[in-house]
């Protein structure tokens, strides 16, 4: 278990999509490090309640907010709830994501708009709404976005709308890092596989693993460790994309 970090105790974090998989692991790891944590969920209320219960058992504050980030007013609603409850914010982790096949020739306007709304627009709107709170600390507030190795030179075939939306989030990371320094650091994690998507068949998984030098899939806990580094230790790091792919990017 992570030892609480003296400088993080009493500070607050928001993890979007924090009820399951990677988001759950991130929320729990930040709480173990000393942060109070708010999470968002869309449909997974039972799982969200369990995460907040586990965090409270550590002696931290925690609550969950239902939000559909495809809706334009969701980010403002979440930001207001977080500030009403915590009064401040130290770390924003944009983990909530939309991921579904959108091959060229079959992409509808709704497909495109949903991917852009969830994967790019909502992180931008959350960042804008929460920037004053994130910039109000003695040390820089932290923003961590989840992009993807497939928007870094290896596009994921058949996922055009997803790739485009995550590329937009990549550019948000780089632009915000410049505009918000020195009060806020903005970095991103670009995972390969840290939790298998349901759409991946057993053969897809075997084919993927043959291209991973470290010879294992990543885990949600690997992603949580990377987030904690950027939140807790990376004081002189902004505008960086941390590749978390077991070497997959280079093969």
Active site residue ranges = 162
* Cβ-proximal residues to 144 (8 Å cutoff; 6+ apart), any chain: 91, 92, 93, 94, 187, 188, 189, 227, 230, 231
- With residue 50 as reference, give the H or E element that holds it: helix 45-57
Q: How far apart are CA 199 and CA 212, in angstroms?
A: 19
Sign of CA dihedral 177, 12, 226, 167: negative
With residue 12 as reference, give the H or E element that holds it: strand 12-15
Asked if 116 and 161 touch (Cβ cutoff 8 Å), the reply is: yes
Strands 91-94 vs 141-146: parallel, antiparallel or unpaired: parallel
């Amino acid at each position: 278990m992570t030892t609480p970090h003296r400088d993080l105790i009493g500070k607050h974090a928001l993890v979007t999509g924090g009820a399951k998989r990677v988001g759950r692991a991130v929320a729990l790891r930040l709480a173990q490090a000393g942060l109070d944590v708010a999470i968002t969920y869309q449909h997974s209320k039972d799982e969200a309640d369990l995460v907040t219960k586990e965090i409270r058992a550590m002696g931290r504050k925690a609550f969950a907010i239902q939000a559909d980030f495809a809706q334009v007013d969701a980010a403002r609603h979440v930001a207001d709830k977080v500030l009403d409850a915590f009064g401040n914010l130290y770390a924003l982790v944009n983990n909530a994501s939309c991921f579904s096949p959108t091959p060229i020739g079959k992409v509808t306007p709704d497909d495109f708009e949903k991917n852009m709304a969830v994967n790019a627009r909502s992180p931008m709107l959350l960042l804008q709404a929460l920037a004053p709170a994130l910039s109000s600390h003695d040390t820089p507030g932290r923003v961590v976005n989840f992009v993807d190795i497939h928007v870094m030179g290896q596009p994921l075939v058949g996922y055009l709308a997803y790739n485009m939306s995550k590329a937009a989030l990549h550019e948000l990371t780089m632009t915000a890092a410049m505009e918000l320094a020195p009060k806020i650091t903005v970095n991103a994690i670009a995972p390969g596989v840290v939790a298998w998507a349901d759409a991946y068949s057993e053969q897809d998984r075997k084919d993927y693993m043959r291209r991973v030098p470290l010879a294992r899939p990543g885990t949600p806990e690997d992603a949580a460790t990377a987030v904690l580094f950027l939140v807790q230790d990376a004081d002189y790091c902004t505008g960086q994309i941390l590749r978390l792919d077991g070497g997959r990017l280079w093969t």
